[in-house]
Structure 1
Amino acid sequence: MQNPEISIIISTYNSEAWLEKVMWSYEAQTFKNFEMVIADDGSKQPTFDLIEKMKSLVSYPIHHVWHEDNGFQKSQILNKAILACNADYILMSDGDCMARADYVAVHMAKREKGYFLSGGYFMLPMAISESITKADILSQDCFQLAWLKSKGLKSSFKNNKLTASGLKEQILNAVTPTNASWNGHNASGWKADILAINGFDERMQYGGQDRELGERLFNYGVKSKQIRYSAVCLHLDHPRGYKTQDSIDKNLAIRATTKSENLKWTDYGIKKA
């Protein structure tokens, strides 16, 4: 395979059932010239076994970047994964976010020097998350609103994320009140820009470390484009045992400093001070 045009970082931690569904969703992508870099925050053997199995079943290359489990250290493993990326453009998502078949193609088509792309996700309830099969993913049935409604999905304005196209998609991207921030589940940017701000701040645990990276990109002069209604991924449900008020408060304080001091660089990133 020629050098990949885009590297896709997928973060995971002991969640093989969801990761397998996500990996099948990338097998269904219409844009093929990518590599997957799995940023693994200390998973046990079943995740290693799954990745080895999937390497022989999918058509894209997979690199597994792992470190010892030391609590929630997603920022650290993401920095290691960034260095492992072979493409000059990086898309970041999570091991619980299944990508619609046009997902990578949208990121590739809308990428632009001087910008990063900001997408969202469509949250599925647990019962539907569990019911989705490999066949549902490869056929793309599970991305169809009618199929999801047949499984019990309720009507909501948010369902427009799954159906918007053309002018409607452009208008919804333009009018959404959601900021075009760097969202760890659906954002892409140039590797050179991410390295220029020294990647993620490794002091940050759960809660907003992705936003803080985006805030330093803004300070560095990179702008953002909203693709919330263009790049669609389905978020599989799960509990969040690692969410603590302490880590959220600490991260908010770091972000406040980034903003007030207009920081572009973190001393706690890829290169250590």
Structure 2
Amino acid sequence: MRISVAVITYNWPDALELVLMALAAQSELPHEVIVTDDGSQPATRELLERLARDYPARLVHLWQPDDGARMSRARNRAIAAAQGDYIVLLDGDMVAERHFIADHRRFARRGCFVQGSRVLTDAELTRRMLEHRLTMPGFFSRGVERRRHTLHLPMLARWYARPSTKRRGIKSCNMAFWRDDLLRVNGFNEAMTGWGREDTELAVRAFHAGLLRRDVRFSALATHLYHRTRKHLVDNPNDRVVMDTIVRRLTRCELGLDRHFAEFSMPPPDLRPVPDSGG
């Protein structure tokens, strides 16, 4: 099973650098890391070219023009480009604990997708993590919310991973699917732009298609770097798309993943330099 990590980013290269450093230090490396970029300025590309010089896994950069928040499109492009059998979705402000990839492999099951958790940080802890290149706070660290999510307890994690179809707590910042399941439901719905709910809508279609959800607690840990959020947006038009999907029991979206197959009929290039063959 080859694991592709799809990291979505937008104009925060300092955070992205820490995210990519954490993925490079995994106890089990992914097959590839695809940074899918929703229109960042050149500093992000410059960062990736610098890290690619000695990155330990295939590293890809996909960029699309900045035309508002188009997270669904960005993620779909990464899924279409992925060479792995299994896709781990990760936000560009989510710093993975060193067993993150190995844990996701351990909890992958056919017929299911995986919903991971996150440690929340305050502004001061985020500043310290970025300044000192810290990848995982401890249980007693200052500035932590959801402190239990700092604990790596794989045996206990198995108890939480019983399959369900609950919609509460769906978040694509730490989520994983078999690639062929994403193809079956046509990925994220690109009719949804702006902040949020595209992950819930995808999960609803996955449930309608017969997939189950496995929650991973105490494993596949990641720390969310603090930033201001639009979580409490009132009258979000994306909520109406979710409701329509529920009422019509849709399994596929019209504007989805299949729009990008032609673009990635050939895999996008690895940013790492080609080894010198000598001679």
TM-score, L = length of structure 2: 0.84
Q: 1:167 to 1:112 in 2, by over 3 A?
A: closer
Cα deviation code 1:18-69 (max 9, x no counterpart)? 0011111101111124200111000011011001111113211111111110
Equivalent residue of 2:54, what SS? coil
Contact 2:154/2:218 (8 A) holds in 1: no
Mapped to 1, the partners of 2:89 and 2:148 lie a distance apart of 23
Mapped to 1, the partners of 2:250 and 2:217 lie a distance apart of 27
- Tell me the CA shift for residue 262 of structure 1: 0.8
- Tell me the CA shift for residue 173 of structure 1: 5.7
Q: In structure 2, what residue type is equivalent to 1:165?
A: L
Q: Which residue number in structure 1 is paired with residue 41 of structure 2?
A: 44
Q: Does residue 14 in structure 1 map to residue 3 in structure 2?
A: no
Residue-pair matches, total: 256
Q: Which residue number in structure 1 is paired with residue 210 of structure 2?
A: 221
Q: In structure 2, what residue type is equivalent to 1:254?
A: V
Mapped to 2, the partners of 1:134 and 1:55 lie a distance apart of 21
Equivalent residue of 1:271, what SS? helix
Mapped to 2, the partners of 1:101 and 1:129 lie a distance apart of 18
Cα deviation code 1:100-142 (max 9, x no counterpart)? 00111110011011111111111111111111158654xx5x3
Contact 2:196/2:231 (8 A) holds in 1: no
Q: Which residue number in structure 2 is paired with residue 153 of structure 1?
A: 143
Q: Which one of 139, 145, 153 corresponds to residue 165 of structure 1?
A: 153
Equivalent residue of 2:192, what SS? coil
Q: Which one of 138, 145, 151 corresponds to residue 144 of structure 1?
A: 138
TM-score, L = length of structure 1: 0.86
- Tell me the CA shift for residue 145 of structure 1: 2.1
Structure 1 vs Structure 2: percent identity of aligned residues?
Answer: 26
Q: Which one of 186, 207, 210 corresponds to residue 199 of structure 2?
A: 210
Q: Which residue number in structure 2 is paired with residue 98 of structure 1?
A: 95
Mapped to 1, the partners of 2:12 and 2:172 lie a distance apart of 17
Q: Which residue number in structure 2 is paired with residue 86 of structure 1?
A: 83
> For structure 1, which segment, 257-266 or 126-135, has the greater mean C-alpha deviation from structure 2 after superposition?
126-135
Identify the structure with the greater helix proportion. 1
Contact 1:90/1:191 (8 A) holds in 2: yes
Mapped to 1, the partners of 2:106 and 2:122 lie a distance apart of 30
Give RMSD over aligned pairs.
2.4
Q: Which residue number in structure 1 is paired with residue 262 of structure 2?
A: none
Mapped to 1, the partners of 2:191 and 2:31 lie a distance apart of 30
Mapped to 2, the partners of 1:213 and 1:153 lie a distance apart of 32
> For structure 1, which segment, 181-190 or 10-19, has the greater mean C-alpha deviation from structure 2 after superposition?
181-190
Q: Which residue number in structure 2 is paired with residue 115 of structure 1?
A: 112
Q: In structure 1, what residue type is equivalent to 2:42?
A: Q
- Tell me the CA shift for residue 187 of structure 1: 0.7
Cα deviation code 1:216-244 (max 9, x no counterpart)? 11111111111033211000011236985
Q: In structure 2, what residue type is equivalent to 1:186?
A: N
Contact 1:100/1:143 (8 A) holds in 2: no
